Amino acid sequence: MDIFHLWGNDIGAGSSGDLATVDGTVRNQQRILRRLLTNPQAINADGSITPGDYAQHPDYGAGLPQYVGDLYDPSKIRARIRGQMLMESCVARTPEPQIDVQQVDQGISCNIQYVDSTTNTPQVLSFNVTQ
């Protein structure tokens, strides 16, 4: 079990006032979103380093927020999402995740269909990445 925490929101409270926990498919989707929306360390053109969101794990994350406002390249974004999703043990390798990205006002819309390997059930994860 993990602590219930949706990206961009406060940690959830349980019915008795303690921390809410989560498991199963919801836990897996929270883990996928965290991976996709976390910025990894970046090496800039001038050789300087922009630190990632997790100091102890500088290579963790897809960094989808950094694509907002950049030149829209859907194949690059899809490849980044696919590579990062396949690093999560809860995502089945077969069939591969089907990823649709669209440019929307102020950001990117993502619709991902994948199979949860822990339950062997098809899942849909849809979210927007905005500035």
pLDDT tens-place string over residues 10-64: 666 677 777 777 778 888 998 999 999 999 998 889 999 989 998 899 999 999 9
Tell whether 5 is covered by a domain.
no
CATH of the domain at 66: 3.10.450.40
Q: What is the total count of domains within the chain?
A: 1
Judge whether 6 lies within some domain: no
Is there a domain that residue 41 lies in? Answer: yes
pLDDT at residue 120 above 90?
yes
What's the pLDDT at 16?
A: 77
In a domain, 96, yes or no: yes
Q: Is residue 12 part of a domain?
A: no
pLDDT number for residue 17: 73
pLDDT at 10: 60
| Residue 14 maps to a domain | no
Question: Does 107 map to a domain?
Answer: yes
Q: How far from each other are the two terminal CA atoms of the chain, in whole angstroms? A: 31
Domain containing residue 74 = 25-130
pLDDT score recorded for residue 131: 76
Q: Is the pLDDT of residue 7 over 80?
A: no
Calculate the CA 37 to chain-centre distance. Answer: 5
pLDDT in tens, 64-118: 999 998 889 999 999 999 999 999 999 999 999 999 999 998 899 999 999 999 9
Q: How far is the CA of 33 from the CAs of 17, 44, 63, in angstroms? A: 25, 25, 11
Q: What is the pTM of this model?
A: 0.84
DSSP H helix total and E strand total for the chain: 2, 7
Whether residue 69 lies inside any domain: the answer is: yes
